[in-house]
C-alpha cells in the first residue's frame, strides 16, 4: 500500500514542502508509492500517514486551524507530524503569545520571533544530532524552543535557543528545510515514521 503525506495548506510554504518531500523520497530511492498533496479539511487528514505543518504566520495559522475545524483532528492524528517555523509554534505546549492556541502535541515552550523582525532573518550552518555534517538552515522570523519535557530529543541549538526537536513521530524545526536542497531532515522524519 502507498504512503500518503499531506501538507497543511492554510498558509505558508505549501508547494515547497510538497517538492521537498518528493525530493526526499527520490533521493532515498524508496520503492514504495508515495503521494504528497495539500490538505485543508478535517476529512482529508484521516487517511494520511504523515502531515507537514509549514511556516507562515503562527497567529494566522492558529486562527485558521480553529476556523476550519482542524484543531481536534490534528490533536487526534496518529501519523507523523513535520512542523517548521510557525508549525513549531503551534505544536508547542505553550507559546509566549496569547493569540496562538497551541496544539500541545510536544512538551516545550516556544518564543515567537525570537530573532526579531523579518529583516533579522538569516542563514546558518548548524550541527544536527545524527547528521554527519552541518545543515544549512534558513531562519525567517523564527521561533526558538525552551524547557523541553521528558522524551523530547534536542537535535540542534544555537546561541538564542533550541531550533530542532524530535519526539517519536514528531519533528519540530524553527527553520525552513524545505527552502534548501538538503533532504536529510525530511528523510530522517520519514524513516522515524517507518514510511521509507
What pLDDT, on a 0 to 100 scale, did the predictor assign at position 13? Answer: 84
Can you give the pLDDT at residue 2? Answer: 85
The two beta strands, 109-111 and 94-95, are: parallel
Q: Look up the pTM and report it.
A: 0.94
5 sits in the region (left: phi over 0; alpha: psi -120 to 50; else beta) called beta
Q: Which residues of the chain have pLDDT under 50?
A: none
Name the residue range of residue 24's domain: 3-192
**Structural contact between residues 125 and 139, judged by C-beta atoms closer than 8 angstroms:** no
Domain total in the chain: 1
What's residue 193's pLDDT? 95
Handedness of CA 61, 49, 18, 139 (dihedral sign): positive
Task: Supply the pLDDT for residue 60.
Answer: 92
Cβ pair 142, 163 in contact under 8 A = yes
CATH number (domain holding residue 160): 3.40.50.880
- In a 13 Å sphere around the CA of 88, the CA atoms on its Cβ side amount to 32
Catalytic residues: 85, 176, 178
Amino acid at each position: 500500500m502507498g504512503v500518503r503525506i499531506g501538507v497543511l495548506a492554510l498558509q505558508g510554504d505549501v508547494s515547497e514542502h510538497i517538492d521537498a518531500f518528493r525530493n526526499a523520497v527520490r533521493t532515498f530511492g524508496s520503492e514504495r508509492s508515495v503521494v504528497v498533496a495539500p490538505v485543508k479539511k478535517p476529512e482529508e487528514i484521516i487517511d494520511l500517514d504523515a502531515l507537514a505543518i509549514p511556516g507562515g504566520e503562527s497567529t494566522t495559522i492558529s486562527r485558521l486551524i480553529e476556523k476550519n475545524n482542524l484543531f481536534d483532528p490534528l490533536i487526534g492524528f496518529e501519523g507523523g507530524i513535520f512542523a517548521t517555523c510557525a508549525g513549531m509554534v503551534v505544536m508547542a505546549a505553550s507559546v509566549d503569545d496569547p493569540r496562538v492556541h497551541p496544539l500541545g502535541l510536544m512538551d516545550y515552550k516556544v518564543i515567537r520571533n525570537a530573532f526579531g523582525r523579518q529583516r533579522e532573518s538569516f542563514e546558518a550552518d548548524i550541527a544536527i544530532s545524527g547528521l554527519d555534517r552541518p545543515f544549512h538552515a534558513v531562519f525567517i522570523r523564527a521561533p526558538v524552543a525552551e524547557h523541553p519535557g521528558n522524551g523530547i530529543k534536542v537535535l540542534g541549538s544555537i546561541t538564542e535557543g533550541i531550533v530542532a526537536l524530535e519526539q517519536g513521530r514528531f519533528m519540530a524545526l524553527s527553520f525552513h528545510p524545505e527552502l534548501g536542497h538538503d533532504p536529510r531532515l525530511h528523510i530522517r522524519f520519514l524513516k522515524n515514521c517507518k514510511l521509507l
